[in-house]
Amino acid sequence: MSAAAVLRGAAERIDRRTPAHRDRAVDGLRALALLAVPTGHWLLGGFTLDADGGLHNASPLSAFGALAPASWVLQMLGVFFLGGGYASALSYGRRTGSTGAWLKGRMVRLGRPVLGVTAVWALAAPVLYAAGVPEATLRTGATLVVQPLWFVGVYAVVTALTPYCVRAAERLGGWAAAPLLGSVAVVDFLRYGPLAGSVPSWLSVLNVLPGWLFAYQLGVAWGGRRIGRRGAWLLLAGGTALFAVLLLVFHYPASMVGVPGEARTNSHPPSLLVLALASAQSGAAVLLRDRLAGLLTRPVLWAPVVVVNLSAMTILCWHQSAMLAAAVPGALAGAVPGLTTAPDTLGWIAARAAWMPVFAVLLVAIARYARRFEAAPAGGRGGRARAVRRAVAGLLAAGFAVFALGLA
């Protein structure tokens, strides 16, 4: 039997086992948004090599500002939060136990993979250092590993707010997200407007929760059938218009990701431009839902979506490790085009594109073993042993976080 026939048979089995109530379009959107994370980090993140062979973070956006529109496509966290809110609203509505039990299950599924990746790196870092890997490389690697994990913390908080989001959507529909947009607009006015010189720097932190809760609240309303095509067109048109005005009139940074050396960033914490993009993306997602659902009735397209969603946290937690698995050994060879050379030439862009399949293969290889951190522990005896393992993993994770954040 050919490999194609084997894959086709596996896809058909996955298709047959999919519950009828599963919303394939929303799962497809979440998978697409999730894959945009490693794609964006791999394409828009690079390294420079110092005289001692240490790796340091760099970005092609510093040299090629014209690449900023690529970040508009690759920044799909708004779509991910939209799909997350939709799925959480349905799951919350189908719960059989208490709200507390529902939330506990969600938090455990988010936290277990994070403990796994940080504990593994806490053990690996001293081994790599003893093997001769420069400390600068280890600190750069630790920063990259921790960098995507902020998302898990924010997502956990907005998930905990699901009951309140559901109530707000029942009363106000999609308009429940409007106060969140207004809140971010006020903070942006204070930190970028005429009063910017007298506003404390910590004020920007106030945008973190409403900035990412915005698309999640839209997703909850969508899951409750409170956003239709008319609302979707309003989100698309309004978000696009606001995005254009912020760029052309108020001169927001064009890049949706941070650029080294730039004083302002759109994503950390989110600016109003992020919400404008999320609004446009959310409207487009709602409008394309039926067409996407039709495409995903094909087993060959549906099977990859299932695989990606089942490995969502593994992809999020380990994709930077996959890039480092190539870059750290590459640094021993010196200047490797597209890997350890400065991302400031067109040749680097072409070479980095050639490295992308390598990173993907390395991620698949890592995921084969790291996927176990997403699985629930087997029942039965050994509860005390599992508690000890969790405590040790927690201590290792805390130690790695201290190192990654430069506190030690």
Question: Is residue 152 a part of any domain in this protein?
Answer: yes
Share of the chain above pLDDT 70, in %: 97
pLDDT at 55: 95
Question: Is residue 208 a part of any domain in this protein?
Answer: yes
Is the model's pLDDT at 407 over the cut of 80?
no
Encoded amino acid at 76, one letter: M
The pLDDT of 45-66, averaged and rounded, is 89
Is the model's pLDDT at 82 over the cut of 70?
yes
pLDDT at 359: 97
Determine what percent of the chain falls in helix, strand and coil, rounding each to the nearest 5: 75, 0, 20
Is the model's pLDDT at 229 over the cut of 90?
yes
Report the distance separating Cα 352 and Cα 244, nearest Å. Answer: 30
> Roughly how many angstroms between the first and final C-alpha of the chain, as a whole number?
56
The pLDDT of 110-116, averaged and rounded, is 90
Is the model's pLDDT at 381 over the cut of 70?
no
Report the distance separating Cα 304 and Cα 315, nearest Å. Answer: 13
pLDDT at 382: 57
The pLDDT of 261-285, averaged and rounded, is 91
Encoded amino acid at 71, one letter: S
Q: Is the dihedral of CA 27, 30, 36, 38 positive or negative?
A: negative
**Which stretches of 52-149 are DSSP H helices?**
68-74, 77-94, 99-130, 135-146
The pLDDT of 7-31, averaged and rounded, is 90
Give tens-digit pLDDT for 328-358. Answer: 999 988 889 999 999 999 999 999 999 999 9
**Strand 46-49 with 55-58, pairing:** antiparallel
The pLDDT of 379-396, averaged and rounded, is 73
Report the distance separating Cα 142 and Cα 120, nearest Å. Answer: 11
Q: Residue 254's Cα: distance from chain center in Å?
A: 20
Backbone angles phi and psi of 119, in degrees to 5: -70, -40
Question: Is residue 54 a part of any domain in this protein?
Answer: no
pLDDT at 360: 97
Task: Give residues with Cβ within 8 angstroms of 241, minimum separation 6.
Answer: none
Q: What is the mean pLDDT of the chain?
A: 91
Question: Is residue 328 a part of any domain in this protein?
Answer: no
Report the distance separating Cα 92 and Cα 391, nearest Å. Answer: 30
Nearest to 38 by CA among 358, 255, 307: 358
Question: Is residue 321 a part of any domain in this protein?
Answer: no
Please compute, for residue 147, the number of CA atoms within 13 A of its CA located in the half-sphere on the CB side.
Answer: 20
Long-range contacts of 336-343 (CB under 8 A, 24+ apart): 339/47, 340/47, 340/48, 340/49, 340/55, 341/48, 341/49, 342/46, 342/48, 342/58, 343/46, 343/47, 343/58, 343/59, 343/60, 343/62, 343/63
∠ CA 315-5-296 to the nearest 5 degrees? Answer: 50
Report the distance separating Cα 255 and Cα 274, nearest Å. Answer: 10
Give tens-digit pLDDT for 135-183. Answer: 999 999 999 999 888 888 899 999 999 999 999 999 999 999 999 999 9
- 46 sits in which H/E element: strand 46-49
- 55 sits in which H/E element: strand 55-58
Question: Is residue 253 a part of any domain in this protein?
Answer: yes
Question: Is residue 89 a part of any domain in this protein?
Answer: yes
Which H, E and C letters describe 247-304, residue by residue?
HHCCCCCCCCCCCCCCCCCCECCECHHHHHHHHHHHHHHHHHHHHHHHHCCCHHHHHH
Task: Give residues with Cβ within 8 angstroms of 36, minimum separation 6.
Answer: 73, 74, 75, 76
Is the model's pLDDT at 1 over the cut of 90?
no
Q: How many domains does the chain have?
A: 1
Backbone angles phi and psi of 270, in degrees to 5: -65, 135
Is the model's pLDDT at 2 over the cut of 80?
no
21 or 280, higher pLDDT: 280
Report the distance separating Cα 207 and Cα 220, nearest Å. Answer: 20
Is the model's pLDDT at 378 over the cut of 70?
no
Contact 242, 182 (CB under 8 A): no
- pTM listed for this prediction: 0.92
pLDDT band at 4 (very low <50, low <70, confident <90, very high): confident
Give tens-digit pLDDT for 153-163. Answer: 899 999 999 99
Range of the domain at 99: 68-308+379-404
The pLDDT of 71-86, averaged and rounded, is 92
The pLDDT of 190-200, averaged and rounded, is 88
Question: Is residue 371 a part of any domain in this protein?
Answer: no
The pLDDT of 15-43, averaged and rounded, is 92
Is the model's pLDDT at 252 over the cut of 90?
yes
Q: Residue 402's Cα: distance from chain center in Å?
A: 22
The pLDDT of 270-293, averaged and rounded, is 96
**DSSP-derived 3-state class of residue 369:** helix
Is the model's pLDDT at 219 over the cut of 70?
yes
